[in-house]
Amino acid sequence: MTTEVSENERRYVVGMDLGTTNSAVCYVDMHRTPRQVEVLRIPQLTAPGQIEALEVLPSFHYEPAEGEFPREALRLPFDDQPREYVVGAFARDQGARVPGRVIASAKSWLCHPGVDRTSPLLPWQGAVDVQRLSPVDVSSRYLEHVRRAWDARFPEHPLAAQDFILTIPASFDEVARRLTIKAAARAGLNRVVLIEEPQAAFYAWIDRHRDDWESFVEPGHKILVCDIGGGTSDFTLIRVRGDESGRFKFHRVAVGEHLILGGDNLDLALAKHLEQRIAQSLSPRQWSALVQRCRQAKEVLLGENPPETYSLTIPGEGAKLIGGGIRVEVTRDEVEAVLLDGFFPAVDLDARPQTQRSGFQEFGLPYAPDPAVTRYLAAFLTAHRHVTVGDEPLPDDHDPARPDIVLFNGGMFAAAAVRDRIVSVLARWFGEGDWMPLVLENDQLHLAVARGAAYYGMVRRGEGVRIAAGLARTYYLGVAVDAGEDGSKAAADDSGDATAEGDAPSDTSREVPQEIAPTALCVVPAGIEPGHEVHLPERTFTLRLGEP
């Protein structure tokens, strides 16, 4: 039975970034003016018995061994009983010490097409006594933690009764989108609206510039949102169009393919590089510690005003635990060569990603076959070179593949060197004179997507600036059409004409199948927006039930 939720109960619009590495929540109190996007600080364990409310909930799940910690030391303030698992900061940190009991990158597994995403398969290669969970289960536990934290903070306005906006990569397939909603439902959140992360990031920018965003854009501009987080790379194009009243409108016109390629890949690559210098083999615990130290080295040496060198220390094992640590030095030039040149090389615009699968397949995830993000970006921009909105003319004074404006989002772009490399590559591709793209400021990268999701909740209530975002892809239904009496097989196209497939010379040595010919029927075209109706008065369809 469905119950109506009153306007008072829906006092808040809440946006959540369910991230690969970190999750965050922002909200707007719709009973307050002026509207203000606020951050929900999420209580979580940072050590046994120690609770802190942090801006992000690290997306890590840890199951302690029997007797590893006193049960009461793991109790959360909003739980009646201690749980058998921990999520958040302590799960991340303890998982680095005991890697066989931690689950990370559940979001990447949620979009893994090569496995049953509802089966208990995580942690991948984990300890034998750890309970296996599906990617949906793990995601649900992050969402449940947030729901319980919210309900403790706002007991009169439970999260399940609010407008809840959940973000996903733009390139998520339909299965991953459905499973994300399923994870939310398991956490007790049934009122869920999905929004793509690059759009949310752009909404966050609009919110930051409520009074002057129009001064940055003009009709005809193409905006590239480049979103690289811990697990995925997402590219989105947004067109700016003016209407008859002189107001600007934003249209999301293209999204890239799904790429499991992000900061995690860089951390693994640097760890593999440094592992070759170490004379001894590393235990799983030491390898996990090395990857975590490489993440820190990456952030320091690719950040603002980096030092020339950085020291990494890996703890010893067994009898050498005290004083037996391994120390490795890495230089800034070395990190730039391995990470910048390896993942963001200065390729030509006609470069294309390699298709032969390589990389870290032993970690279970289907990482992108080519590590070069810039090759995927070149392919994306050229594939959508001529994308327009309606009858909007293409520019004739420069390559229409060129973006005029760039918005960086995701933790990867906290590194100034990565931002600078992307800008220099774009200038190399499209540079005419001193041309450079306008780079929009995006501070607080770890909160931008959640902020934008909350702002989108306002837009759905009729406030703020909306991005028109139709379907990014056309969806087809495979159908079978009866063969004609002469043995030819014909399928009607959208104009009503028929394309015959029986004109080729016959092969008398074998019998040609006469029954059916496979074809495809467009169910919904790319670009169609929510609420739009398509009428097909001249087409008649017959639905056959009760057969496979």
Contacts of 92 (CB under 8 A, 6+ apart): 58, 60, 62, 102, 104
Residue 296's alpha-carbon distances to 130, 155, 270, in angstroms, are 28, 38, 11
Helix (H, G, I), strand (E, B) or coil at 366: coil
- pLDDT tens, residue order, the chain (548 aa): 445 566 556 899 999 999 999 999 999 999 999 999 999 999 999 999 999 999 999 999 999 999 999 999 999 999 888 899 999 999 999 988 888 899 988 998 888 888 888 999 888 878 889 999 999 999 999 999 999 999 999 999 999 999 999 999 988 888 999 999 999 999 999 999 999 999 999 999 999 999 899 899 998 899 999 999 888 899 999 999 887 777 888 999 999 988 889 988 999 999 999 998 887 788 877 888 888 889 889 988 988 889 999 998 887 765 454 446 788 999 999 999 999 999 999 999 999 998 866 555 545 677 888 999 999 999 999 999 988 766 677 777 788 999 999 999 998 998 889 999 999 999 999 987 789 999 999 888 999 999 999 999 999 999 988 887 766 566 677 766 655 555 444 444 443 333 333 333 444 444 444 555 567 777 777 666 655 667 777 777 676 666 65
How far, in Å, CA of 432 to CA of 437, rounded? 11
Q: How far apart are CA 21 and CA 6, in angstroms?
A: 35
pLDDT at 277: 86
Closest CA to 24 of 69, 70, 89, 121: 89
d(CA 286, CA 314): 6
Contact predicate 353/376, CB 8 Å: yes
Residues paired with residue 524 on neighbouring β-strands, in sequence order? 475
68 phi and psi, to 5 degrees?
A: -65, -35
Kindly write down the DSSP assignment for every residue of 56-100, as one continuous string: EEE-EEE-PPTTSS-GGGG--TT-SS--S-EESHHHHHHHHHSGG
Phi/psi zone of residue 105: left (φ > 0), alpha (ψ -120 to 50 degrees), beta? left
Give CA–CA dist 171/261, Å, rounded: 12
Q: Is the backbone peptide bond immediately before 525 cis, with ω within 30 degrees of 0?
A: no
- What is the number of other CB atoms lying within 10 angstroms of the CB of residue 329? 11
pLDDT at position 507: 42
The closest alpha carbon to 293, from 317, 318, 268, belongs to 268
Nearest to 499 by CA among 512, 510, 484, 513: 484
Q: How far is CA 432 from CA 387, 429, 438, in A?
A: 22, 9, 14
Q: Spell out the residues 6+ positions from residue 293 whose beta carbon is closer than 8 angstroms to its own.
A: 312, 313, 314
Q: Cβ(126)–Cβ(100) under 8 Å? A: yes
CATH architecture group of domain 218-260+363-453: 2-Layer Sandwich (3.30)
Calpha distance 413→494 (Å, rounded): 45
CATH number of 263-348: 3.90.640.10
Q: State the CATH architecture for 12-190.
A: 2-Layer Sandwich (3.30)
Q: How far is residue 475 from each of residues 112, 134, 173, 380, 471, measured CA to CA in Å?
A: 20, 28, 12, 20, 9
Position 232, amino acid: T
Q: Which of 142, 98, 103, 95 is nearest to 120 (CA)?
A: 103
- CATH code 3.30.420.40 region(s) in the chain: 12-190, 218-260+363-453
pLDDT of res. 111: 83
- Say if CB 232 and CB 106 are below 8 A apart: no
Closest CA to 324 of 315, 312, 337: 315
First to last CA, the chain: 31
Q: Which residue type is seen at 459?
A: V
Q: Which two tokens stand for residue 306?
A: 């980096």
**Tokens in use for 197?**
């992360």
Give the separation between CA 287 and CA 172, rounded to whole angstroms. Answer: 30
298, 320, 324, 325, 326 from 315: Cα distances, Å: 19, 9, 7, 4, 6
Structure tokens belonging to residue 93: 């940190």
Q: Which of 452, 453, 445 is nearest to 162 (CA)?
A: 453
- Residues 359 and 275: their CA atoms lie apart, in Å, by 16
Question: Are the C-beta atoms of residues 469 and 477 closer than 8 Å to each other?
Answer: no
Place of tokens 């920018």: 205
Query: What is the structure's pLDDT at 492?
Result: 41
Are 327 and 343 spatial neighbours (Cβ–Cβ below 8 Å)? no
CA distance 497 to 485: 18
* CATH 3.90.640.10 residue ranges for the chain: 263-348
Is 89 within 8 Å of 56 (Cβ atoms)?
no
Query: Residue 504's pLDDT is what?
Result: 39
Which residues have C-beta within 8 Å of that of residue 115, sequence separation ≥ 6?
A: 109, 121
